[in-house]
Amino acid sequence: MKKFLATVSFATMALAGAIASANEYPSKTIEVVTHAGNGGGTDVTTRMMMLRARRELKADMVVVNKKGGGGAVAMDHYLAVPADGYSILTFTIGHAATVAKGKTKMTLDDIRPIARGTDDPQILMVKCGAYADAETFVAAQKDAPISYGTTHLGNIDDVSAFMFTKKGGMQTPKIVPFDGGGELATQLVAGAVDAAVLNLAEAGSQIDAGDVCPIVVLANERMAGLPDVKTAKEMGIDVSFSTVRGFVVHKDTPDEVAEKIEASLMKSMQHGVYQGFLESVGLDSTSVVGSEEWGNQITTMVTDMESALKELGFIE
């Protein structure tokens, strides 16, 4: 009996300690692990989130850069840190591709979604005047394949083009890679490719000049900045791809801690400072969503990536 009571007493003390730890969280610096170098889009998004989040959490926050392997180094590093909420991982569409390819030890079962910070839809763009409208653009590709310019191979850009044409019953496109979005936008105007997969910011100057026209947005809803451009889903093509950046923690992070992190990050990213950042890169408040919607998107991204990359030959 004494042994039983001692065991119960120990378990009660451990539970009380866990509750106290959750209530006291955070009591030290929080690390935010990214795969990007200083100044990149992911790094900047992370730091903009932290501007207000450190105030909401009443704790210092620092960025830990773990570059390499398309996010694999950062993800494998993250698996080795404690699941106590003192380390947050920035998760992007590139991480989803790396998980789909099996290039990391991490799986979706290892993480718990917290919040999304940016949702920059992939946009199919053409040289202005090349196609009368989105319907004409789609119809042309049912007769013969066209060339798509991208800035990646085996990642979101060519996957976006491939899945759009596949689910829309179109011919498989010819993919032409370029070094960056700026070069791609220029070459689209020059006629080097028939269409391009770009984000709004990458072709902003050419759009303003009337040289490049967005023709289909690969998102669930129309973009505020492009209210007249149809989405693929409106056209009956079930495709949604975005350059997304958000935040996750270990699956085993205590519920109270994870919920506190989510509430703090959501409040920080709904603040005018972060919203101003979104506006500066052509996005709006719809970029910021909580754990449920973000978690569903992560699962969809990895599933769609795996399917597309297998058909493209990047996964056996």
Domain boundary assignment for the chain: 2-119+243-312, 120-235
Q: Give me the amino acid identity at 276.
A: G
Taking the C-alpha atoms of residue 110 and residue 311, their distance in angstroms, rounded to an integer, is 26
Domain 2-119+243-312 identical in fold to domain 120-235: yes
Which phi-psi region, left, alpha or beta, contains residue 239 (left: φ > 0; alpha: ψ -120 to 50)? beta
pLDDT tens-place string over residues 57-71: 999 999 999 988 889
pLDDT tens-place string over residues 160-212: 999 899 999 999 999 999 887 888 999 999 999 999 999 887 788 899 999 99
Question: What number does CATH give the domain 2-119+243-312?
Answer: 3.40.190.150
Please state which of the ranges 82-91, 135-144, 145-154, 289-298 shows the lowest mean pLDDT: 145-154
Mean pLDDT of 231-242: 92
| Phi, psi of 123, deg, nearest 5 | -125, 130
pLDDT at 21 over 60: no
Q: Do residues 127 and 193 touch, judged by C-beta distance below 8 A?
A: no
Taking the C-alpha atoms of residue 18 and residue 179, their distance in angstroms, rounded to an integer, is 50
Q: Do residues 198 and 123 touch, judged by C-beta distance below 8 A?
A: yes
pLDDT at 103: 93
Of the chain, the percentage scoring pLDDT greater than 90 comes to 65
Taking the C-alpha atoms of residue 218 and residue 171, their distance in angstroms, rounded to an integer, is 18
Confidence of residue 19 (pLDDT cuts 50, 70, 90): very low
CATH superfamily of 120-235: Periplasmic binding protein-like II (3.40.190.10)
Q: Global pTM?
A: 0.77
